[in-house]
Structure formats: C-alpha cells, structure tokens
Structure 1
Amino acid sequence: FPSTSFSLFSFLPPFPKPNDTVVEMAGKATEPTKKDIMGLYQDMFSKRALYLTDELTATSKNYKLLKNMNKLTSLKYLKMKDITLNISRQLKDLNQKYITVQFYRNQIILTEERVIVLEQTAYKLDEYSKKLEAKYKKLG
C-alpha cells in the first residue's frame, strides 16, 4: 500500500501519550437567551400544529370514507329492497294464478274420476253383453 496520511479513524482525536495529562475545560454554563427559548417554542408549536393538522386531516378523511361506504351500503340495501318487493309481487301473482288454476285442476280431477267410473261401467256392460250374446247363441 502506498503510504497516505488518510486513516480510517481520522475523525477521532489522537490518543494521549502515557505521560500526557488530558484536561478538558468545561465551558461556562450560560442561560439560554430569550430569543433561543422563543425559537425553540416556535419550533415546538409549529411541529405540534403540523402534527395535529395531519391527525385532523386523517380523521376527516376516515369520516369521509365511512360516509361514502354508508352511502354505497344504503344504495345496495335499496337495490335489495327493490328486488325483494319485485319477488314479493311476482309471488303474489303466482299465488293468484295458482288459485285460478286450482279451480280448473279440481274440475279436471273430478272429470277424471267420473271417466274412470264410466270406463268401469262400460267394461261391465261389455262383459254383460258378451254373456247375453253367448246365451242367445245357445238358445238359438
């Protein structure tokens, strides 16, 4: 390596030699000036005001978001209400049609029962006529 005066620890003060006495003199403690205190107060209050403003802005945005969500939810419920009312109307119409058709259905069932009785009577009559025909042929 070429020799350089750069050192990795150049930012540190040099180590004292074993016989050197190191004495640090403390600076005289002074009261901060009113101007310094006012500057610190102003800085603190401006940062506090910025923080509170941001908090209020975030809260306001949250309330706006909730308001929009409530509006959307309300619209969804209105749509669901419309759908439910439509289904209810259609169900009432269907029930009314069923009542109307029920009369005709009952008439069809009654007619079917009468046809069955008539069919049984026709079979019995056919059987009786065959017996009579057989007797007539025997006699004749």
Structure 2
Amino acid sequence: MAATGQGAAAMESISRVPPSVLQLRMEAHPGDDPGQGEAGGNAAPAPRRSTNNNDSGVETAEEATEPAEPDIHELCKDMFEKMAVFLQGELTATCEDYKLLENMNKLTSLKYMEMKDISINISRNLQDLNQKYASLQPYLDQINQIEEQVTALEQAAYKLDTYSKKLEAKFKKLEKR
C-alpha cells in the first residue's frame, strides 16, 4: 500500500537521514577498557606504534571508525515516532476501508430486506388472485357451457333456415304447377 498524507511525509523525512547516522557500531578494540561504556566508544583510537624493532617510528594503520553522533538517540526516537505515525495512518486507512465495507453490507442487507418484503407482497397478491380465480371458476364454467349451447343453437338455426328455404322453394315449385 502506498503511504499518503502524514504517513508519506514521515517516511520521506526518515529516508533523508544518512545511513551513517543510523548505524551504531560499538566495537571493542584491543586495549580499550570495557568499563568505559559509551564515552570510551566516542573517542577516536590513537594510532599505535609497531612493536617490531625493525620499524623504528613507523605507525601501523587501523580501521577508522566514525564515532556515534551524540544525538543518535534523538534520531532513533524521531524515526520510531515517524514509523508509528506511518503505521497508524496505514491502520486507520484499513479501518476506514472496513467501515466502508460494513456500511455497504448494511445497505445491501436493507435492500435485500426490501426486496424480500416486495416478493412476499407479490406472493400474497398472487395467492389472493388464485383464490379469486378459483371462486370464479364455476361461473366461468357456466359461461363456457352457455357459449357451447349458443353455438349449438346457432348451428340449429342455420340448419332450420336452410331447411325452410328448401321448403319454400318446393312450395313455390308446387304452386307454379
């Protein structure tokens, strides 16, 4: 995750501190008094003379160590404070994400409850319509029977009309004779 806001500023200021300041190098040199503590570690070691008799007056080289700066504790404290600010920002962002997800879940749950209520109402209305249809079914059956009877009467009327036309034609034929 990328740091934003105060967390980014804290991380940037930490990254500007030179590595030599952040390194603590406490080495015990031969001949150092172990009871000297931190004060003895800050002093630069004196060049040593060779004990070899052939090299009269020649000094040997020793690794030069940077003494720890006196405000290293302040720099470490500052670094830890800035890391705490950064981590607090990251955790706050994560908490806010979870709160947003929680709110979205609550809203989704409410929408589903509304949809459930709507579907229950639709189901109830459908049951009511089915009951009304069932109560109207005998009347619908009677309408179907009447329709069938009307159709049968209509066919009988057509047959009767056809038969009466035939009779009329015979009667006219007989009259003409």
- In the superposition, the TM-score normalised over structure 1's length comes to 0.64
Change (3 A) 1:127 1:43: closer
Q: In the alignment, residue 46 of structure 1 is paired with which amino acid?
A: E
| Counterpart check, 1:43 vs 2:103 | no
Taking only aligned residues, the RMSD between alpha carbons, in angstroms, comes to: 2.6
Query: 1:101 Cα deviation (Å)?
Result: 2.5
The separation in 2 between residues aligned to 1:120 and 1:56, in whole angstroms, is 89
Structure 1 counterpart of 2:89? 54
SS in 1 for 2:68: coil
Query: 1:123 Cα deviation (Å)?
Result: 4.5
| Runs (5+) with no aligned partner, structure 2 | 1-63
SS in 1 for 2:109: helix
Structure 2 counterpart of 1:107? 142
Structure 2 counterpart of 1:116? 151
Identity of counterpart residues, as a percentage? 57
Structure 2 counterpart of 1:69? 104
SS in 1 for 2:105: helix
Determine which structure has greater relative contact order: mean sequence separation of CA pairs < 8 Å that are 6+ residues apart, divided by chain length. Answer: 2
Q: Deviations over 1:4-41 (max 9, x none)?
A: xxxxxxxxxxxxxxxxxxxxxxxx864024x4220111
Structure 2 counterpart of 1:84? 119
Q: In the alignment, residue 88 of structure 2 is paired with which amino acid?
A: T
Q: Deviations over 1:79-103 (max 9, x none)?
A: 1111111111111112222222232
Change (3 A) 1:77 1:70: same
| Counterpart check, 1:32 vs 2:91 | no
Q: In the alignment, residue 127 of structure 2 is paired with which amino acid?
A: K
SS in 1 for 2:123: helix
Query: 1:134 Cα deviation (Å)?
Result: 3.5
The separation in 2 between residues aligned to 1:85 and 1:70, in whole angstroms, is 22
Q: Deviations over 1:87-123 (max 9, x none)?
A: 1111111222222223212211111111222333345
Structure 1 counterpart of 2:171? 134
Q: How many residues align?
A: 109
The separation in 1 between residues aligned to 2:102 and 2:74, in whole angstroms, is 41
Q: Deviations over 1:27-74 (max 9, x none)?
A: x864024x4220111011011111111111111111111111111000
SS in 2 for 1:32: coil
| Runs (5+) with no aligned partner, structure 1 | 1-27
Query: 1:77 Cα deviation (Å)?
Result: 0.5
